Structure 1
Amino acid sequence: MLRNYVMIAWRNITKTRFYSFVNIAGLATAIAFTMLIAAFIWSQFQVNSGLKNSGRQYIITSKWKNPNLGFPIATLGQLGKALKENYPNLVANYYRYDGITSAVSKGDKNFRENLQVGDSSLLTMFGFTLLQGDVHTALNDPFSVVITKEKAIKYFGRTNVVGETITIESFLGSKHDFLVTGVLNPISDNSVTTLVDNYPGNFYIPAANLNFFGRNMDWNNPFIVNYIELKEGVTPKDLEKPIAALQKQNAPPQITADLTSIPVPLKEFYLSADNGLVRKMCYALSGIALFILIMAIINFINMTVSRSASRMREIGIRKVLGGIKRQLILQALIESTLIVLLATLIAFLLYIPTRNLFGSILGKEVPPLYGFPLYFILFPIVFIVITGFIAGIYPAFVLSSLKSVDSLKGKLSGIKDNILLRKSLIAFQFVTATTAFTGAIIISKQINLFLSNDLGYDKEYVLSAQVPRDWTSQGVRKMDYIRDQLAVIPQVKQVSLSFEVPDGNNGGGAAIYPYGSDSTTAIASQLLTTDDHFLDVYAIPLKAGSYFEGQATDSAKVVLNETAAHALGFTNAADAIGRQVRSAGDPTIFTVKGVTSDFHFGSMQQKIPPIAVFNVQFATVYRYLSFKIQPGNIPASLDAIQKKWSTLMPDAPFEYKFMDATLANLYKTEIQLQKAAYTATILALIIVLLGVIGLVSLSIQKRTREIGIRKVLGSSITGIVSLFLKEFFAVIAIGGLIACPLAYLIMNNWLQGYAYRIEITAVPFIMAIAGLALVTMLLICLQTIKSALLNPIKALRTE
């Protein structure tokens, strides 16, 4: 009997090829999209799960009373080590590192790389394995280094490089050979080797080399990443008092007063970082995938019922020959399950070629099918059965409820008329599609704001490149000379030397207060270190005073932004000029030389903070040269800079980024969401149109005779088309009315995460509803015109 049901189901699928194709294609597309989303989300939840003892491992994050004073992902340099040494009954292990970049070379290969200068516990604590070398001793000796397999091939062309040397530059400009003592095996995504996206650690150096780089992990350094592994049964709450006691006993008072160190589980950290940005994105994508899948199932229901006329006589004959309702329901369910099975198999085939494309959209690798645990095979099986049942249960009961006489006549009037239900389902699809379309438009507008020219500075034709470090007065003078030589290139307008560029990674924070007042009145400000050309390159307007002038006297001068000037109590920018300020813990008395307009240095998620700009002549630290190049032939400009750079700094790689790319990286997650929203909108539109095909097809079948009578009585094609348009206009209107407040609530909640945001106007809603209505109406017209052009004699013979 089962074999018979399957054969009949297959015969019916092949008989109505077009509608079967539409049905299967819609389901397969939705299932493939859902699989891709599910795979991506699964991979995000797997981050850090591959670490040894990850359930007991924590990163110590920082919560500052004023967020401008430090980084959330770093804390005091000695904290992790002190917890292990003073509370061995609570803490089993620790790992700390200082993340830096420096020039790495081997022969004629020179690149700037990300380095982790950290404790020797890295490999054993997290369970990392080495392709070459001993995990227990690889990071024990000074001037040794463990590198990744990728970097071994990059610099040596092979992986068996233990015993080879590689040259690394310090921040004083000196170079030293480091002995390669290990080659790291490729490892799964984690927040240890890649704490921040696009800044993965590739070179791991023992903490004994901190002095070589001019760095430290002291109690007064709050910019060190700390990990700890707790003893079994110990909870983060057990560490609250020990952490507070250690900080109070060892850290400077100004830090202790502002800082709360909080251990966050590594299994949770990746999802919850940046105000839970990854988790929110996963939830958003899950909702999108769920609604796309529901829309496809709705289409299946409508399409199946709309084609039921071709099954009338078959059902009637089965009933006359003794077929019972249960058998008819079972046949319908088997047929729907078979269609879902075929759609799922096609979805698996679609998954393979679209995986890389979808991964590029989201900026993350989507796991291949073989990358999942074996038990995952149960999910598609359960999905096929459940979806087949859900998608087929309503058509099964509709078809099996036909009266035998009406079935033999092929009359649709015998079906319980649930047009209202089917129109409600189509309206649900319109609500989903309109919401997705509106959301995509609003997200796009917000991202355009991120990347616009309304940032407080001019990003056009600006690029930056990291330079070798020699953080001495002599090193600054040398870089000033190199900067001036590069500035005379005809294709270059201006060049600036600075420690930061506007990418959100400032050099830290400091408490600034007016000279003569108590330090308790200090404001927390972000610090920037630049030369006298920074404002020219980035075209940041001055509100009052002047900027640095390249003179030695500028070393005791400071430039504030408007927010800092107001926070210090100056009513307007001009009042701040010539006033004196101090930085907590620094005896130097600084004179305010100028006040700039406010500009966005970091993400628009936060308000523009107070910013204090110091001269590189005073704080002799720098990392970047920023170039403002002439409009026109950009490749020629880059080539000219590259040639001059190679002459002035032959051992330093010219690795540059345009500010557009820098900003795109800053808002990477938002751009990923934008691309996903556009993809979902296109899929939702396709599925809605498939649903319209099904409902219009059913309506035309039921009213074929009516169309013939209207034509005989003189009705025009326009009149017949308008008859169907009126019927669907109400569905579109109702869907739009429901979608508008829903989309507003969703997008308004999303925008709340940004201190600077667009205003939600009526335009996105009008565009979404009008676009969907136009395409839908066009599709309805094409279908009804085809029916209206038929010979009315044939239509009148239709029962």
Structure 2
Amino acid sequence: MLKNYIKIAWRNIWKQKVFSIINILGLSVGIAFTLLIGAYVWGELQVNHQLKNADNQYIIQSKWKDPNMGFELASIAELPKALKEEYPGLVVNYYHFDGMTTNVSKGEKYFREGIQLGDSTLLKMYGFQLLHGDVNTALNDPFSVVVTQQIALKYFGKNDVVGQVLTIENFSGDKHDFTISGVLDHLPKNSVTSLNASNISNFFFNAEAAKYFKRNIDGWANPYIVDYVELKKGADPKEVESAMKTLLRKNSSEQISKNLTPYLVALKDYNMVAEGGIVKKMTSTLSCIALFILLMAIVNYVNICIGRASGRMKEMGVRKVMGGLRKQLIWQLLAESTLLVMIATILALVIYLVARPYVSDVLGKDITSLFALPAYFIPILFLFALIIGTLAGIYPALVLTALKSVDSLKGKLPSVKESVLFRKSLVAFQFAIASIVLIGAYIISQQVSLFFSNNLGYNKDYVIYTQLPRDWSPNGVKKMESIRYQLAQMSQVKSIALSFEIPDGANGGNYPIYRQGANPAQTVVTQGLITDNQYASTYNIPLKAGQFFKPVFDVADTTQVVINETQSKALGFKNADEAIGQKIMSPGSPVAFTICGVTADFHFGSMQQHIKPVTFTNVNYALAYRYFSIKLKPGDIQQSLSVLSQKWSELMPGAPFEYHFMDDALKKLYATELQLKKAAYIATILAVIIVLLGVLGLISLSIQKRTKEIGIRKVLGSSAIRITLLFLDDFLGVVLIAAAVACPLAYLIMQKWLSDYAYKINISLLPFIFSIALLTGVTAFLIILQTIKASFANPIKSLRTE
């Protein structure tokens, strides 16, 4: 019997090819998009879950009384070791590391790489497997290194490279050979080796190697180290947090113990809550968008199914007269509906396979392959298809099979009228969702454009930045300044600056300051930036008063600093001029700094936060640098970069010239917003496609049902335009009602989204007018195309219909 139902269902689907194709396409697109987003969300939820003993793994985070006093991500270097030694009943293992970048070379190959200096517990604690090498000894020698597969292939072209040597530079400019002691197997995405987008490591060293790199990863006064602990099974994280507070009171300074509250975050949850829950917000937003798109596709499918069903009344009447039972007819209609959804689901899987690389690129994350998803995924998917098929077919099946045979044969619905209002409500729902998505995409695009506008307080055009080999000594700084001077003489270069930071939100650290003579307790927490005297001119940061250090460096002027307007006001100066020549100090330091300049405010970090106080310290005083920021002259940029690369190789042989434009730094800073913008564009396109497919199907059904009416109207003298307007009136009224509902909802949703930003656009009428006009225009065009053909048909043929 089931075989017969399927056979008849296939014949009906094939008979109504146009409507079947419209239904299948709309539904498959909605299912495919939902699957892709679902796989992306599932992948994000699985981060860190594959680590050994993941249920007991935690990262120590920091909550400062003033968030500007330290980093949430890092904590006190000595904490995890002290927890393991003094509270063995709570903590069974620990790992802490310092992440940085340095130059790595092998023969003629040299690159700047991300490295980790950490404990030898790394491999065993997290269950990382080695393709080659011994897990027990790989991280024992301070001059050995464990590398990833990618690095082995990059430098040697093969995986088995244990015993090979790489030359690695330290922060004094010295170079030393390191022996490869292990090659890591493929690492699942995790928050240990890849803490975040800007901290991805491919080289792993023993903690003892920190001495060679001139780094300190120990001590109770060092709050810049990333700390992890593994708790004993059954241990209460709250007890560990209490123990951390006790240790800080006992061992750290009063300034740290009073202002810092360390807390634990489960590694299983960390990916979703890190950096203010940015991944959680992204996955939630995309999940809502996917749900809306799927609902639109389902509504579209149900609407066309209901519309088509009323045209099959005579078929039901004939089947009843021939002896068909009601339950058989119900099963027949449900089989047809379910088969159509199953076909759409299979097509959705094909779309998934084809679209996955593109959507992965858009979201900046590798979406899980269809074949890598859990085994229960496919059965659940087809169970979902069965449910949708049943829900879509149950209404027309129950209504049509309940009619008397005579009524069915006459094509009448004496007891149950066709629910025109219900169908129009479904259409209005589709248009409302499409309008919200389109308006949202428009506003997101406007906000993202603001991030890259010229309202940043500095000029990023033609500015590239490149990392430098480190030699953090007076001679190292002098050498870099000499190289800077030689590069600045090139005709392709407008200006060049040596600094520790670029305007990407990542500064070297925050510290409290106060006016000399004022109460040291009344401090202002400032972002410290280390630069030379060319930084303001390279980035075109306007000066409000004074100068940006002296044009020629003098040792006597090393304690001069430049502040921004926000800091000038926070320190109590009436205006920028009043700040010049005044002295500021930091608690616990005997050095008094003299303010020599005040800059205009500029966006150093994300627009999610208000502009913070900034203090520029001279690189000759701080003796730390990371970047050259180079402003090129307009013209042939590629030619300029080529010449610059040659000069670079002459001045710094062995140091890679790996440059990026400042736009690239901003793209990293606003990576989530850019991903959301692209995802919103995709969702908008899909929403519009689904709506138009629905309109196409419904208007075709409407014309088919009213063929005889069209013929009568033509005979009575109606023109093609009047007939077209008749159909337009039916649909455009629904569109306008949907717009009236969608606009306020879209406004509230986008206001909520924009509330996360301290600096944001003002929502104008333009996104609403544009979106509604576009949807209305495209819908009207589609209706006109369909009805114009019907209105020009021969009325005699129309009257002979049925």
* TM-score in terms of structure 2 length: 0.98
Does structure 2 conserve the Cα–Cα contact (< 8 Å) formed by 1:165 and 1:178?
yes
Question: By how many angstroms is 1:559 displaced?
Answer: 0.5
Question: By how many angstroms is 1:406 displaced?
Answer: 4.1
1:141 corresponds in structure 2 to 141
CA distance, structure 1, for counterparts of residue 194 and residue 770 of structure 2: 41
1:465 corresponds in structure 2 to 466
Matched, 1:64 2:83: no
Deviations 1:461-491 (A, max 9, x none): 1010001111011111000000011111111
CA distance, structure 2, for counterparts of residue 778 and residue 175 of structure 1: 69
1:162 corresponds in structure 2 to 162
CA distance, structure 1, for counterparts of residue 335 and residue 277 of structure 2: 43
1:628 corresponds in structure 2 to 631
- Counterpart of 2:561, as a letter, is V
Aligned pairs for 1:466-481 within 5 A: 466-481=467-482
CA distance, structure 1, for counterparts of residue 242 and residue 493 of structure 2: 56
1:741 corresponds in structure 2 to 744
Query: For 1:92, what is the secondary structure of its paired residue?
Result: strand
Does structure 2 conserve the Cα–Cα contact (< 8 Å) formed by 1:164 and 1:179?
yes
Aligned pairs for 1:386-401 within 5 A: 386-401=387-402
CA distance, structure 1, for counterparts of residue 429 and residue 60 of structure 2: 46
1:663 corresponds in structure 2 to 666
Matched, 1:652 2:655: yes
Deviations 1:573-607 (A, max 9, x none): 11111100012232211000011011111111111
Aligned pairs for 1:289-308 within 5 A: 289-308=290-309
CA distance, structure 2, for counterparts of residue 516 and residue 141 of structure 1: 52
1:417 corresponds in structure 2 to 418
CA distance, structure 1, for counterparts of residue 210 and residue 356 of structure 2: 43
Question: By how many angstroms is 1:409 displaced?
Answer: 4.0
Deviations 1:30-49 (A, max 9, x none): 11111111111110100000
Query: For 2:196, what is the secondary structure of its paired residue?
Result: coil
Question: By how many angstroms is 1:83 displaced?
Answer: 1.0
Q: Runs of 4 or more off by more than 3 Å in structure 1?
A: 409-415
Question: By how many angstroms is 1:232 displaced?
Answer: 1.1
CA distance, structure 2, for counterparts of residue 706 and residue 296 of structure 1: 30
Aligned pairs for 1:424-573 within 5 A: 424-549=425-550, 550-552=552-554, 553-573=556-576
2:186 corresponds in structure 1 to 186
Aligned pairs for 1:293-442 within 5 A: 293-308=294-309, 311-410=312-411, 416-442=417-443
Question: By how many angstroms is 1:167 displaced?
Answer: 1.0
CA distance, structure 2, for counterparts of residue 123 and residue 49 of structure 1: 16
Does structure 1 conserve the Cα–Cα contact (< 8 Å) formed by 2:310 and 2:400?
no
Unaligned runs of 5+ in 1: none
Does structure 1 conserve the Cα–Cα contact (< 8 Å) formed by 2:459 and 2:539?
yes
CA distance, structure 1, for counterparts of residue 517 and residue 250 of structure 2: 29
Does structure 1 conserve the Cα–Cα contact (< 8 Å) formed by 2:310 and 2:418?
no
Distance 1:785 1:276, change over 3 A: same
Question: By how many angstroms is 1:798 displaced?
Answer: 3.6
Does structure 1 conserve the Cα–Cα contact (< 8 Å) formed by 2:434 and 2:687?
yes
Does structure 1 conserve the Cα–Cα contact (< 8 Å) formed by 2:191 and 2:267?
yes
Question: By how many angstroms is 1:173 displaced?
Answer: 0.6
2:47 corresponds in structure 1 to 47
- Counterpart of 1:427, as a letter, is A
1:243 corresponds in structure 2 to 244
Aligned pairs for 1:689-704 within 5 A: 689-704=692-707
- Counterpart of 2:741, as a letter, is I
CA RMSD of aligned residues (A): 1.4
2:106 corresponds in structure 1 to 106
Aligned pairs for 1:748-767 within 5 A: 748-767=751-770
CA distance, structure 2, for counterparts of residue 108 and residue 732 of structure 1: 65
CA distance, structure 1, for counterparts of residue 93 and residue 207 of structure 2: 16
1:716 corresponds in structure 2 to 719
Does structure 2 conserve the Cα–Cα contact (< 8 Å) formed by 1:422 and 1:695?
no
CA distance, structure 2, for counterparts of residue 111 and residue 615 of structure 1: 28
1:128 corresponds in structure 2 to 128
Query: For 1:627, what is the secondary structure of its paired residue?
Result: strand
CA distance, structure 2, for counterparts of residue 548 and residue 135 of structure 1: 52
CA distance, structure 2, for counterparts of residue 522 and residue 494 of structure 1: 35
- Counterpart of 2:752, as a letter, is N
CA distance, structure 1, for counterparts of residue 70 and residue 660 of structure 2: 26
1:177 corresponds in structure 2 to 177
Question: By how many angstroms is 1:414 displaced?
Answer: 8.0
Deviations 1:177-232 (A, max 9, x none): 11211111111000000001143110001110112122112211111000001111
CA distance, structure 1, for counterparts of residue 104 and residue 790 of structure 2: 73
Which piece of structure 1 moves more, 769-778 or 310-319?
310-319
Does structure 2 conserve the Cα–Cα contact (< 8 Å) formed by 1:146 and 1:203?
yes
Question: By how many angstroms is 1:255 displaced?
Answer: 2.2
Question: By how many angstroms is 1:744 displaced?
Answer: 1.3
Aligned residues: 799
2:677 corresponds in structure 1 to 674
Which piece of structure 1 moves more, 252-261 or 682-691?
252-261
Question: By how many angstroms is 1:766 displaced?
Answer: 1.1
Question: By how many angstroms is 1:241 displaced?
Answer: 2.2
CA distance, structure 1, for counterparts of residue 481 and residue 737 of structure 2: 66
CA distance, structure 2, for counterparts of residue 142 and residue 299 of structure 1: 64
Deviations 1:291-349 (A, max 9, x none): 11111111112222333365333212101112232222211111111011111111111
Matched, 1:604 2:614: no
Question: By how many angstroms is 1:140 displaced?
Answer: 1.4
Deviations 1:43-72 (A, max 9, x none): 010000010011111111111122222211
1:207 corresponds in structure 2 to 207
Distance 1:322 1:625, change over 3 A: same
Does structure 1 conserve the Cα–Cα contact (< 8 Å) formed by 2:345 and 2:382?
no
CA distance, structure 1, for counterparts of residue 378 and residue 495 of structure 2: 60
Does structure 1 conserve the Cα–Cα contact (< 8 Å) formed by 2:561 and 2:618?
yes
Identity of aligned residues (%): 55
CA distance, structure 2, for counterparts of residue 370 and residue 702 of structure 1: 45
- Counterpart of 2:498, as a letter, is L
Question: By how many angstroms is 1:763 displaced?
Answer: 1.3
